[in-house]
């Protein structure tokens, strides 16, 4: 099997706008998905993944008085290894602040974030440890949402596998969210890449809050001084996450 690579511009949102299989995914309201859920646990490999993939369902949980916990696996400190003005220590501090600002935009705060501080880029080397930590803090009635295990980013895939292992061990429900899959999946494939998935719609107010939360990640969008390279999340990438819905797998 060819391993997809995250390089170049990837698939543009204009192509996703004409994807028949994406348009055919069933719609499920977040409130329906959260029925009988006591706590929503979002596993985020790097600060910004939780907002890109799960801002809508996190807001729905808040609106329904459901507890929310964001497990922030790494601090994303290795995203610009060749930028001398943005060393790992500075990025670690900046991205934690950005995550706090993003949470506030969604009606949450730092008390909803559990930072683990695992090394960015090396989550797979700590996968068993992560699975054990997720299992240890899982509770009956949790809904565990983590990245798709084939997302093509090694940290995302390792976090997804760890979450699945924890969910199986603790008997809690688990779903997955794609992030980098939108960069390389075929929008015009004959069928959807997932046997079960749904679009979770967001209303205008929730969508506006998601957009505000995305803008909090200035180091990733390039809205900072001293960054002498392309940002991780240029406009053509964030366009994939400005849709009025999110996709959850499972």
Comparing CA positions, the residue from 202, 194, 195 lying closest to residue 242 is 202
What are the C-alpha distances in Å from 177 to residues 21, 66, 148, 160, 225? 17, 19, 5, 9, 31
Sorting pLDDT into bands at 50, 70 and 90, what band is 137? Answer: very high
Structure tokens at 203: 């209303």
Task: Please choose, from the candidates 46, 181, 184, 53, the residue with its C-alpha nearest in 3D space to the C-alpha of residue 123.
Answer: 46
Confidence of residue 5 (pLDDT cuts 50, 70, 90): confident
> Crossing angle of helices 204-215/49-63, nearest 10°?
140
φ/ψ bin of 35: left (φ > 0), alpha (ψ from -120 to 50), beta (otherwise): beta
Task: Return the CATH fold of 13-249.
Answer: Rossmann fold (3.40.50)
pLDDT tens digits, residue range 155-191? 999 999 999 999 999 999 999 999 999 999 999 999 9
Token readout for 145 is 């949402």
Q: What is the pLDDT of residues 205-218, one digit of tens each?
A: 999 999 999 999 99
Element (H, E) at 153: none
CA distance 126 to 189: 35
* Per-residue model confidence (pLDDT) at position 2: 55
Give the pLDDT score at 1. Answer: 47
Measured distance CA(146)–CA(143) in Å, rounded: 10
pLDDT at 3: 60
Whether residue 106 is predicted with pLDDT greater than 80 in this model: the reply is yes
Give 32-85 pLDDT, tens digit per residue.
999 999 999 999 999 999 999 999 999 999 999 999 999 999 999 999 999 999
Task: Report, as an integer, the average pLDDT of 219-246.
Answer: 97
For residue 132, give both structure tokens: 């054990």
Predicted pLDDT of residue 107: 97
- Residue 141, pLDDT > 50, answer yes
Mean per-residue pLDDT over the chain, rounded: 97
Share of the chain above pLDDT 70, in %: 99
Torsion angles phi and psi, residue 133, rounded to 5: -65, -40
Which CA distances in Å does 72 have to 112, 116, 245? 10, 6, 23
> For residue 14, is pLDDT > 50?
yes
Residue-wise pLDDT tens digits, 113-131: 999 999 999 999 999 999 9
138 within 8 A of 144, measured Cβ to Cβ? yes
Q: What local confidence, expressed as pLDDT, does residue 4 receive?
A: 75
Determine whether 110 is exposed, middle or buried from the number of CB atoms within 10 Å of its CB (0-12, 13-18, 19+): middle
């Amino acid at each position: 099997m060819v391993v997809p690579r995250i390089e170049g511009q990837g698939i543009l949102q204009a192509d996703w706008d004409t994807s028949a299989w994406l348009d055919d995914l069933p719609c499920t309201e977040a409130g329906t998905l959260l029925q009988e859920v006591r706590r929503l646990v979002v596993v985020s490999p790097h600060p910004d993944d939780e907002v890109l993939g799960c801002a809508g369902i996190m807001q729905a949980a808040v609106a329904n008085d459901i507890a929310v916990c964001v497990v922030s696996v790494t601090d994303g400190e290795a995203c610009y290894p060749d930028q001398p003005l943005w060393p790992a220590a500075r990025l670690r501090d900046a991205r934690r602040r950005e995550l706090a600002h993003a949470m506030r935009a969604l009606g949450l705060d730092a008390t909803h974030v559990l930072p683990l501080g695992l090394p960015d880029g090396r989550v797979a080397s700590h996968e068993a440890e992560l699975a054990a930590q997720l299992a240890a803090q899982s509770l009956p009635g949790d809904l565990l949402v983590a990245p798709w295990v084939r997302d093509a980013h090694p940290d995302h895939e390792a976090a997804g596998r760890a979450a699945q292992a924890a969910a199986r061990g603790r008997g809690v429900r688990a779903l997955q969210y794609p992030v980098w899959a939108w960069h390389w999946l075929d929008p015009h494939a004959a069928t959807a890449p997932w046997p079960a998935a749904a679009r979770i719609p967001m209303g205008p107010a929730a969508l506006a809050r998601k957009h505000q939360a995305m803008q909090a990640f200035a180091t990733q969008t390039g809205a900072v001084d001293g960054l002498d390279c392309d940002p991780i999340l240029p406009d053509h990438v964030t366009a994939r996450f400005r849709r009025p819905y999110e996709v959850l797998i499972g």
